[in-house]
């Protein structure tokens, strides 16, 4: 179909329509152009969607099992340490019991040793040599047996008085000795494996008044 020729009236109407159309502002054109460029330049962010959910579940289970294993190891170490402490305490208690189980027996035996010592001291010139040797040998055997089981003698003549190991029976002025020195041992003391069984009974010097 042939296009009809435009009349002068049509040309006038087209011109007026073009003049009536509002022109865009320069800033609006720049902003619109910038938005178009940003939209074109900005890459689309990929959405993180796991393509293997079964593997993710297995990884979570492995992590949980590793944590449980670490906790079990920690509990095992604590239990082993506690068992070792209990065993050590039991060994120490057994050692103490072994060392001091004889304490009561030693206390009962000491008066016999005292009697033999006094008997040997009391023997005069009229006592036979065989008698003296017999008592001395018996006394030595007693001392040897006591020493074998950890019994030591406390005989502090001339030493400073020590209330932890000595029991003062009297205080006597003596200018020849330092004050609080042991002048005489009335009865020997004894230790069992370093622990006092019986204190030594002594006479202590004091300064002359």
Alpha carbon 37 to chain centroid distance?
70
Give the CA distances from residue 181 to residues 106, 133, 176, in Å, rounded to whole numbers and listed in that order: 28, 34, 10
Q: Average pLDDT for residues 106-119, to the nearest whole number? A: 93
Is residue 65 situated within a structural domain? Answer: no
pTM of the model: 0.56
Is residue 17 situated within a structural domain? Answer: no
Residue 157 belongs to what domain range? 103-206
Is residue 36 situated within a structural domain? Answer: no
Strand partners, 54: none
Cα dihedral across residues 158, 161, 164, 166: positive or negative? positive
CB atoms within 10 A of CB 62: 10
Strand ranges in the chain using DSSP code E only, listed in sequence order:
151-154, 166-173, 182-187, 189-192, 195-198, 200-206
pLDDT digits (tens, 9 = 90+) for 127-163: 788 888 999 999 999 999 999 999 999 999 999 999 9
Is residue 163 situated within a structural domain? Answer: yes
Measure the CA angle with vertex 71, ends 79 and 62; round to 5°.
Answer: 145
> Domain total for the chain?
1
- Residue 194 CA neighbour count, 13 Å, CB half: 2
Q: Which residue has the higher pLDDT, 207 or 84?
A: 84
Alpha carbon 209 to chain centroid distance?
55
pLDDT beyond 50 at 70: yes
Is residue 11 situated within a structural domain? Answer: no
9: confidence class by pLDDT, cuts 50, 70, 90:
low
* Residues across the chain: 209
User: Sheet holding 166-173: strands in order across?
Assistant: 166-173, 200-206, 182-187
Distance CA 182, CA 89 (A): 40
N-term to C-term CA, the chain: 159
pLDDT beyond 80 at 187: yes
Is residue 92 situated within a structural domain? Answer: no
Is residue 41 situated within a structural domain? Answer: no
Is residue 189 situated within a structural domain? Answer: yes
Distance CA 145, CA 139 (A): 10
pLDDT beyond 80 at 24: no
pLDDT at 36 (0 to 100): 46
The enclosing domain of 152 has a CATH number of 2.30.22.10
186 CB-near residues (< 8 Å, 6+ apart)? 169, 201, 202, 203
Q: What percent of the chain has pLDDT over 90?
A: 40
């Amino acid at each position: 179909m042939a296009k009809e020729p435009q009349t002068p009236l049509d040309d006038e109407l087209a011109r007026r329509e073009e003049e009536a159309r509002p022109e865009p502002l320069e800033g609006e054109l720049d902003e619109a152009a910038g938005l178009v460029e940003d939209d074109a330049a900005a890459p689309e962010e990929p959405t993180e969607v796991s393509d293997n959910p079964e593997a993710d579940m297995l990884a979570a289970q492995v992590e949980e099992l590793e944590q449980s294993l670490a906790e079990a190891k920690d509990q095992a170490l604590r239990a082993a340490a506690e068992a070792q402490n209990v065993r050590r305490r039991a060994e120490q208690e057994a050692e103490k019991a072994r060392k001091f189980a004889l304490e009561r027996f030693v206390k009962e035996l000491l008066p016999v040793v005292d009697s033999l010592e006094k008997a040997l001291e009391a023997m005069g010139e009229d006592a036979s040599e065989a008698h003296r040797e017999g008592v001395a040998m018996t006394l030595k055997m007693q001392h040897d047996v006591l020493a074998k089981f950890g019994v030591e003698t406390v005989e502090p003549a001339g030493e400073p008085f020590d209330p932890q190991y000595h029991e003062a029976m009297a205080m006597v002025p003596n200018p020849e000795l330092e004050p609080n020195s042991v002048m005489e041992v009335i009865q020997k003391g004894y230790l069992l494996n370093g622990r006092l069984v019986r204190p030594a009974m002594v006479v202590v010097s004091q300064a002359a008044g």
